[in-house]
Amino acid sequence: MEYKVKDLGSYKLHLIKNSDFKTIRVKVFFNEPIKKDKITIRNFLASLLVLSNEKYKTKRQVALKCQDLYSCGIGYNICRFGNYSNLSFSMDVLEDKYTEEGNFKQALEFFSDIIFKPNVVENAFDETYFNIVKNDARVALNSLKEDKGRYSTIRMLEAMDKNSPLSFRTSGYVEDLDNITKESLYEYYKEMLDNDIVDIFVIGNIDFDEIEKLIRLYFPVKVYKKITLDCRLEEKKSNIKRVVQREEDDSNQSKLAIGCRCFGLSDYERSYPLTIYNIILGGGTNSKLFKEVREENSYCYYINSVPNKLDNLLIIRAGISRVNFESVVRMIEDQMIMIRRGKFTDFDMEEAKKMYVSAIDEIKESQNDIIDSYYMMELLGVDDLETKKKKMLEVTRDEIIAVSKKIKIDTIYLLEGVKE
Amino acid sequence: MIKKNLVGQDVDVYTEQLENGLNVYLVPMKNMKRYFITYATRFGSLMTQFMPADSKKMEKVPNGIAHFLEHKMFEQENGEDVFNYFSKSGAYVNASTGYESTRYICSGMDNFIGNLKYLINFVNNPYFTDKNVEKEKGIIIEEVNMYKDDAEASLDNTSRYNLFQNDNHRFDIGGEVDDVKSITKEDLYLCYENFYQPQNMFVLAVGNIQVEKTLEAIREEFNNDKKYKQLPKVKYLNEPYKVRKEKEIVKFNVEIPKFVYSLKIKKEIFEIKNQYLIDLRLNLMLRMLFGSTSLFYEKGKLDDLFSSFYYNFDTTNQYIIISFFAETKKYEKLIELIKETLQNRNSILTKDDFMRSKKTMIANKIKASCYIDAISDSLYEDLINYGDVIYDKIDIIREISYEEMCKTCEKIDLDNNCTVVYVPKK
C-alpha cells in the first residue's frame, strides 16, 4: 500500500494506492469544534445534500444517476471525536475496467455536485426536500426511545454530565429542529465550507497524478484554516458519590448502562494499556464480564464494555432482568476490582493482544477502514498500524494494573423493563 | 476436487463430497489475509416433527430447539472453553440459527488449520447434561426477551403468525419463553443425532486458504467419527392458501406507528422449477416498483407517507411471501398506494428501468466479490436456499429478458394478503 499526502493549502489530499479491491473510494471529511446547538442543523444539512442538488433535484434523480454509474454508492456519516463534530461524505464506484472508460471521472463529478452544488435558490434551500428532511428528522428524533440500548446509554451520559460534549446526542434535538429554516440552513452550509477543516481521501488502484488533477478540478475548497482546539475532552473529577438512576419502561428486558471515568491517564496509557484492560474486562466473548455474568450466572445474553479515550470514559452495557440489577452491578464491580488486584492471567493478556492485532489486520480488508485509520493518524496523531501492533504487544501487566486503578464507576443507569 | 468459476467475479470454488456425505466448498482468495469458515447443518427452527431413519415413531420437539442446540454446542466435555481456544489466535467465533439451517462460523488471520479443525470438532462432539442445559435457559430467555422488545422484530413475528396457519414459519426462531423452559437434554441429543449428520452438513471456507491442505485437514477431522447415516423424515404440515388473519392492530411500545403488509403467493402458479429464476424476476420487479428509483418511493416521500420504507422477500416450500415494511403516521394511505402500485405494475415496469436494474444488480455482485464475508454469505445463502452454489448468476441476470420478467409478474395474485399495524399505546 502506497500512501501520499499532499497539502493543497485549503485542504489535505490523501492518496492510497491499493489493488486488493475492484472499487475506488473517495471520502471527504469536514471537522469542526462541536457546538450543542449546531448538531441538529449539521445532521439536517448532510441528509439534505445527499437527497437533492442543483443538477439532480430529487432523490429519484440522484438514485437514477447512481445506477447509471454502475451502482455508485453515496453516503454520509456524522460522529463526534472528543471536542469535534466530524461529518464525512463518501462515494464508492467500480474501477473503469469493470464498467466503461470515464465512469470514475463522471462519478467524481457527481459526488462533487452533491457537496458543492446544493439545490439553493435566493440564498435558501429548495422547500420540497427541506420539508421532507425536516419531517424525517422529527420522526427520528421522536422515536429515539425505540432503540433502548442507545437510549439508555444517552440517558446515562446525560446523568453523568449534561453540559459536556460526552453526553451530546449525535443526531440532535427536536427543540433545535423547529428553529431551522431554509435560509439558516444555507447560512450554516456556507459557514461549514468556510470554517471546517477538510481532508479528502482517495483509495484504490489509482494513478496519483491523475487523481490529484481531478480532485483539484472538482473540489473547490478555497479557505485556509487551522486546528485550534484539542480533540480530547478536558478531564473532569468523578462524582464523590456515585449516581444511580432508574427509569421505568414498558418492556421485558432492562437495559443497564454504566459510565466509568478514567482520570490521570497519559497519552500512552490511553492508547495502549487501556485498550488491553478493556478487552480483558468486557471486550469480547473471552472477557471477564462475559464469563462471569453470562456464562457463570446466566444473567444476560449480552454484556460488553467500550472505552472512549478522547472522553476519558469507559462504558459498560448489558441487557438484564430487573430483579438481577443489584447482583449484576456487584458482579461487574467485583471483576473490576479483580483486575486492580492483578487477578488476571498472562494468558488473558496475550489473548487480548492477539484480538487487537487481528482487529488491526482486518482493517486492511476494507477500503473504508483503511481510510479511517489514516484519518485518525492525521487527526489525532496516533501511531501507524504497524507501530500500534508493536507497542500493543509490549504492554505489561503492571501497566494494565496501573490503568485499572485510574478507572472509577461514576454513573449507573437502568432502563427498567416492567412489562409482565 | 472440482473447480468451478463464479462467472464474472474472478473467484474459483473448489468442491468435494466426502464418503460420509459431507460437502466441502473451498474458495481461496488472493490478496486476502483473513479467512472465513462456516460449518453448517440443514437444521433450523422449522424442523420440530420428524421420524428418525431407524424408528417408526414420529418425534415432536419444542419450538426453539434448533437455536437452543446452537447455544449448547459450545459446551465441551473436558470443560474447555470454546471461546478461549479461538481467542488464542485472535480469531472470532460465533453461531446463528435460521428457519432452515444453523451455522457455526470462525474468522481470523492465524492458525487457520487449527481453528478449522477445532470448529468441526466442537460441533461434532456434543456434551449436554441436565445441569448445563438448565444453566443456559437464563441466557436464552434474556435473548428471547430482547427480541420481544424490539418493535420491528416483534412486528415481523406477529405478521408471520397471521400469514400462516400450520407452517412453522409462524413461530419465532428462538421459541417462546415456555418452550425454552421445557427443553431437556434428551430433546437436544435426539435432534443432534438426527440432524447433525455429515450428509446434512457442509463446510465452507473462504479467503486466505490453501485448497489441498484444507481438504486434508477436514478429512482428518472426520476420520474416526461421523460415518454416513441416513437422515430422518421431516414432517412439514400442509399449509393452506388463505392467510390466518387478514388484519390486526396491536398497541405496542412505539412512538410512531409501523406496519407490515404482506402477500402470500402460491409458488406453483409461476410454473417455473428453478427457484432462483423466480426469485430473480420478482426481485427485479420489486426493485423497479418500490426501490429508491421508483415513482412509488418518490410519491411516498413527497406526500410524506412514510419516514422509512423497505420490502422483503421470503420463500417457504409452498409459498412466496412479499412484505412491505414502513414507519408512518399515514398507514392507510400508504397501504393504498402499495396496492395501487402492485395493481398497475404492468404499466409501471418499463424496459429502460429493467435494463438499468440488471446493470445495477451485476455491478453489485462484482463490487461484493472482493469481500470474503460477502462471498461467504452469498454462497451460504445459495446452499441453503437453492441446495447448491449458483455459479453463473451474472450470466443468468444478463440473459433474463424484459418479457420473461413481465410474464412472471403478471401471475402474482394480490388478494391473499395480511396487514399488521403497531400503534403507540398512548
pLDDT at A420: 67
Say yes or no to pLDDT of B223 above 90: no
From chain A, the residues in CB contact with B425 under 8 A are 250
pLDDT at A103: 97
B251: alpha, beta or left, given left = phi > 0 and alpha = psi -120 to 50?
A: beta
Across B82-92, average pLDDT: 91
Question: Where do we find the cell 441453503?
Answer: B384
User: Does the beta-carbon distance from A319 to B367 stay under 8 Å?
Assistant: no
Give me the residue from A58, A148, A358 closest to B149, CB to CB.
A148
CA B59/CA B49 separation, integer angstroms: 6
Q: What is the interface pTM, i.e. ipTM, of the complex? A: 0.91
DSSP three-state, residue B57? coil
Q: Using alpha carbons, list the distances in angstroms from residue A161 to A34, A238, A310, B241.
A: 16, 10, 15, 57
Q: Using alpha carbons, list the distances in angstroms from residue A202 to A13, A109, A157.
A: 8, 14, 36
Pairing of strands B23-28, B201-207: parallel
Burial class (CB in 10 A: 0-12, 13-18, 19+), A358: buried
DSSP three-state, residue A123? coil
Grid coordinates of B415: 388478494
Is the CB of A284 inside 8 Å of chain B's CB atoms? yes
CA B126/CA B188 separation, integer angstroms: 9
Residues of chain A with CATH 3.30.830.10: 2-218, 243-417
Do B405 and A61 form a contact (C-beta atoms < 8 A)?
Answer: no
CA atoms within 13 A on the CB side of A227: 18
User: Could you report the per-residue pLDDT of B384-397, keeping only the tens digit for each?
Assistant: 999 999 999 999 99
CATH 2.40.37.10 applies to domain A2-218: no
User: Does the beta-carbon distance from B254 to A351 stay under 8 Å?
Assistant: no
Q: Which of B70, B75, B221, B239 is catalytic?
A: B70
pLDDT at B424: 94
Grid coordinates of B270: 409461476
Which residue of chain A is at minimal alpha-carbon distance from B177? A252
User: Could you report the per-residue pLDDT of B138-163, keeping only the tens digit for each?
Assistant: 999 999 999 999 999 999 999 999 99
pTM for this one?
A: 0.94
Is the CB of A142 inside 8 Å of chain B's CB atoms? yes
User: Does the beta-carbon distance from B357 to A67 stay under 8 Å?
Assistant: yes
Task: Name B201's bridge partners.
Answer: B41
φ, ψ of residue B219 in degrees (nearest 5): -55, -45
User: Residue B215: which residues within 8 A CB-CB, separation 6 or more?
Assistant: B1, B14, B16, B24, B26
DSSP three-state, residue B304? coil
Do B66 and B234 form a contact (C-beta atoms < 8 A)?
Answer: no
**∠ CA A175-A418-A325 to the nearest 5 degrees?**
100
Instruction: Domain ranges for chain B, please list them.
Output: 2-234, 247-424
CA A287/CA A306 separation, integer angstroms: 12
B70 is known as an active-site residue: yes
User: Does the beta-carbon distance from B142 to A366 stay under 8 Å?
Assistant: no
Of A136, A31, A128, the residue nearest A77 (C-alpha): A31
Smallest CA–CA distance, residue A204 to chain B, in Å, is 12
A263: alpha, beta or left, given left = phi > 0 and alpha = psi -120 to 50?
A: beta
Computed on alpha carbons and rounded to an integer, the radius of gyration of chain A in Å comes to 23
Do A411 and A258 form a contact (C-beta atoms < 8 A)?
Answer: yes
Smallest CA–CA distance, residue A68 to chain B, in Å, is 7
User: Does the beta-carbon distance from A142 to B84 stay under 8 Å?
Assistant: no
Q: For the beta carbon of residue B16, count every other beta carbon within 10 angstroms.
A: 16
pLDDT at A237: 76
Is the CB of A163 inside 8 Å of chain B's CB atoms? no
Grid coordinates of A420: 409482565
φ, ψ of residue B102 in degrees (nearest 5): -130, 135
Say yes or no to pLDDT of B196 above 90: yes
From chain A, the residues in CB contact with B32 under 8 A are 20, 365
Pick the CATH number of B247-424 from 3.40.30.10, 3.40.1160.10, 2.40.340.10, 3.30.830.10: 3.30.830.10
User: Does the beta-carbon distance from A59 to B298 stay under 8 Å?
Assistant: yes
Pick the CATH number of A243-417 from 3.40.50.2300, 3.10.510.20, 3.30.830.10, 3.60.20.10: 3.30.830.10
Give me the residue from A291, A357, A417 closest to B90, CB to CB.
A357
**∠ CA A364-A368-A373 to the nearest 5 degrees?**
65
Give me the residue from B143, B301, B367 closest to A22, CB to CB.
B367
Question: What CATH architecture is B2-234?
Answer: 2-Layer Sandwich (3.30)
Pairing of strands B247-252, B417-424: parallel
CA A365/CA A350 separation, integer angstroms: 24
User: Does the beta-carbon distance from B292 to A71 stay under 8 Å?
Assistant: no
User: Could you report the per-residue pLDDT of B299-320, keeping only the tens digit for each?
Assistant: 999 999 999 999 999 999 999 9
Low-confidence stretches of chain A (pLDDT beneath 50):
none
From chain A, the residues in CB contact with B136 under 8 A are 298
- The residues in A 31-60 lying below 8 A from B, measured between CB atoms, are 58-60
Query: SS3 sequence, A75-99?
Result: EEEEEEECCEEEEEEEEEEECHHHC
Which residue of chain B is at minimal alpha-carbon distance from A1? B31
